[in-house]
Structure formats: C-alpha cells, structure tokens
Chains A and B, each alone.
Chain A
Amino acid sequence: MANKKFKCTVCGYIHEGAAAPEACPTCQAPASAFVELKAEKKLPTGSNAYTFAYAAAMVIVVAFLLSFVSSALRAKQDANVKLDTKKQILYSLNVTTADPDAYFSKNVKDMILKGDTIVEFKDDFATLYETEGKKGNFHVFVCNLDGQTKYVIPVYGAGLWGAIWGYVALNDDKNTVYGTYFSHASETPGLGAEIQSPAFQKRFEGKQVGDSLSAVKISVVKNGKVEDAKYEVDGISGGTITSTGVDAMLKSCLGNYTKFLSK
C-alpha cells in the first residue's frame, strides 16, 4: 500500500496514509478540508543513461543554434568587415568620410604585385591579407588623393596576445611614409593596445622605408632609444613585445614589396 500525503488546508497539518483522516488532529477540520499532495516528479538526474542523453541532446541543440546564427548572419558580417577594412585603409591616408564605399570605389584601386609592377586585382574585395599573401597576391592600394598618388600596403603580424595588422600609406616616391593605421585583436589596454592610438601612428609620418630599398630599414625601437630619426620610430613603453611585433610586421610585409618599391 503506497502511502499518500494529505495536507489540511486549514492548519497545514500533513497526514500520511491511504486516505485523508476523518478529522484533523490539530484543528478538527473534516476530511473534506484535506487535499492530496502529489509527490513532485523528479527527473533521474543521477543516472548514467540520463546524463549521456542530456549531454548528447545539449551538444546537438547548441551546435544547431550556433551554426544557424552564424550562417544567418554571415552575409551581413562580411559586408561589415569589408566596409571596416576600407575605413582602415582610408584612415591610413587620413581620409575620414561618411561613405567609405563610395569614396573607395571612386579614388582607390585595388592592385596586386606582378614581378616588379602592379596589375589590377580582379576578384572580389579581399580582407584577409595574410591568406592573400600566401596565395601570392600582394595587394597595393593605389589612391588618388587630391591629384597625388599614394600607395597603401597592408601589413600583418603577431603582437603579445594575438594578431596585429595595419596599413602603411607611402608617398609617390614609394619610400616616404604618408600615414599609418595599426590595429590589434587582443593587446593589453593602456600598453600594447596603444598601437591603435593616433599618437603612436603619427610617429611614422615622414619616415623613410629604406635607402636603396635592398632591405627595409624602417623600424620600431625601444621608447626613447631613437638614434636615426630618418628610419626609427619610438616604441611604446610597457608595450615592448607589441612594439617589437609591429617592427617585425613592417620588416616582413614591406619586405615582400622591395622590388616594386625600389623601381
């Protein structure tokens, strides 16, 4: 005989038995005042089978959810990334405009290296220049800035915590730096992340990339240790590894362009 529980609605007394008592022992309420308490259904949260089933179901649900969100938003995200890349390229040219897309298609040409000259890049606008570099597509953005020609070269490398990248704009002598833009994925705020600050990026203006361009001479040195102001740029104190990363990034990426730049 299964024991059922009955609760007195008058005083709250709980009676255990097959049926409700005739009268409540504490407040003498009749049997009709009792209601049966149904045992709460408990899921077998301790059993192995349940645990496995739960884990499997959870993984499938979450996987579907994430891939659904990711594919539903892919197109919009790609458009954002392209727009942002164009903004960054224009930033290195000190151009701020409300409509980067329009400005870009009017004034900037996406070219790639072929031998020591550049030819037009015919594919869709690319945003991952590291992958492009591995494919042998070294991009140069040729920009017409109020009648003057500027060359923008994308650079990429590694900082302390993650990727760093940027764009270096050169004057039409292909040697003097006109402007730069640097950004990072996860450098330390206040230290390495300062490469994103205009104050740091302005330090590159007017520097020379190299002399005869047999090698890239522009470099980032420890804060306050600039000896040759023609090529050397002050690093960030406290952000040494990120500064070194910028230095290595400039040397390796601009190094791919020496033939084009020395011509």
Chain B
Amino acid sequence: MSSKKNKEALLTPLGLNNPVTVQVLGICSALAVTAKLMPAIVMGISVTIITALSNVVISCLRKTIPLRIRIIVQLVVVAALVTIVSEVLKAFAYDISVQLSVYVGLIITNCILMGRLEAFAMQNEPWPSFLDGIGNGLGYAKILIIVAFFRELFGSGTLFGVNILNYDCVANAGYVNNGLMLMPPMALIIVACIIWWQRAHNKDLQQK
C-alpha cells in the first residue's frame, strides 16, 4: 500500500514533477484565483479532492473505456463529480457552496484534472491513482498559495484580508501597494520566477 512507487506518485508532484511549474498545467486558473490568499486555498483544496476522486473513478473504469471517446468519458466523469459535490454542498454547507460557486467552472475545465486522468489514471490501479491525484492537487495548491501570498501582500497590503502594510508609517516611508500585482499578468511573472528558482536548484530539470 505504501510501496516506493506509490510514495513517488504522492510526493514527486510536490517538487520535481510539480503540475504547475514542471508539467505547466493549470496555469489559467492560477491566474484567476490568486489575487487573494483565501480563494487560492479554497481552489487548491477543491482541485485536490476532485482530482483524487476522478482519478479513482477513471482508474476503475480504465479497462472498459472505448479508446476513441476516452476524453469525453473523462470529461463527463469530472463534470458529474463536480456537479454532485456542489449540489451536496449547496444542501448541507450553503456558505461554502456560495464561496465555491465561482470555482465550479474553473475546476471542471482545469487541465490538471484531464492531464492526470490521461497520463496516470488510464494506466494505473485505483490506489496509486488516488495518491497521484492528492499529490498533484497539493502540488498545485502549493504554487497557488505562494503566488497568492505575494500578490495579496504587495497588491493589497493584506494577508487573508488582515491588514499588514496599510499603515501611515509605511506610506510615509514612500511605499505604495502595487496595483499591477492584482492584475493577471503578475501571476504569470511570479509563476515564472518560481520556475526559474526551481530549475536553478535542480540539475535534473535543466535542459541540456
């Protein structure tokens, strides 16, 4: 249950095989939800859960899925799962579902989900697929949180909506919040900086 291969499936997406910085998946949603920390964390958790669940479902079905319509089957499974989860939340945890309503569309079309289903769940047993889903979801969440931390801190001067930099003494020292940080392009630049840092520290990732 916790063989070396399973451990790899769970842990490499956090570092050497990170879905955002190495596989370059899920960039679009990384732009959309990282202006604030809170939505970034919510999105990270939701993607983790949905990736793990859909990986398990597809992995169980993998031997029966007709090859020519496999992408459609994957999409239907993901969309059905997300819809069911959001309906259940709407009935039993209404406040959370209101917060998540923005993300439902973003989760269904998140390329991390499709990428992992196609690359991993179609070839592997349910348990490793589950771990792979959790690992990739957390790897994605990790990058979102780093990006959102910098964007919220330097863009709005807050963290989790709590004031950090908006004081008179800071303003008098000549510091102003950078509005560009709140714009989507800044997320790309921060992701690029993370990729740069990661490749500089890992010889394996450098192109020869």
Q: Show the binding face of A for B, using Cβ within 8 Å.
A: 42-43, 45-46, 50-51, 54-55, 58-59, 62, 65-66, 69-70, 73, 76-77, 80-81, 83-84, 185-186, 188-191, 237-238
Partner of B179, one of A43, A70, A237: A237
**A190 in contact with B65 (CB, 8 Å):** no
A73→B73 contact, CB < 8 A: no
Partner of A50, one of B66, B91, B101: B66
B84, A46: Cβ atoms closer than 8 Å? no
Chain B positions within 8 Å of A54 at CB level:
64-66, 69, 73
The verdict on B67 contacting chain A, using a C-beta distance below 8 Å, is yes
Bound form: Cα–Cα A238–B32 in Å: 14
Q: Are B76 and A62 interface neighbours, CB within 8 A? A: yes
Query: Chain A nearest CB: distance from B142 CB in Å?
Result: 19
**Chain A min CB distance to B130 (Å):** 21
Q: Mark B20-37, 1 if CB is under 8 A from A, else 0.
A: 000000000000110110
Cα of A169 to Cα of B32 in the assembled complex, Å: 33
Of the listed residues A43, A73, A81, A237, the one surrounded by the most CB atoms of chain B closer than 10 A to its CB is A73
Chain A contact surface mostly: helix
Interface hits, B163-181 → A, CB 8 Å: 179
Which residues of B does A touch, CB under 8 Å?
Answer: 32-33, 35-36, 39, 63-69, 72-73, 76, 80, 83-84, 87-88, 90-92, 94, 98, 101-102, 105, 151-152, 155-156, 179, 182-183
Report whether over half of chain B's contact residues are helix, strand or loop; otherwise say mixed: helix
- Closest Cβ of chain A to B184, distance in Å, is 9
How many whole Å from B159's CB to the nearest CB in chain A?
13
Minimum CB distance partner of A41 in chain B? B63
Contact of B88 among A42, A45, A73 (CB under 8 A): A73
Taking the closest CB of chain A, its distance from the CB of B40, in whole angstroms, is 9
Q: How far is the CA of A178 from the CA of B69 in the complex (A)?
A: 57
Contact B101 A185 (CB under 8 A): yes
A-B contact pairs, 21 of them (CB 8 A): A42-B63, A45-B64, A50-B66, A51-B66, A51-B69, A58-B73, A59-B76, A62-B80, A65-B80, A69-B83, A69-B88, A77-B91, A77-B94, A185-B101, A186-B102, A188-B32, A189-B33, A189-B36, A190-B36, A190-B151, A238-B183
B35 cross-chain contacts in A, Cβ below 8 A? 188-191
For the complex, give the distance between the alpha carbons of A250 and B128 in Å: 54
The answer to whether A189 and B94 touch across the interface, beta carbons within 8 angstroms, is no
B94 touches A80 (CB 8 A): yes
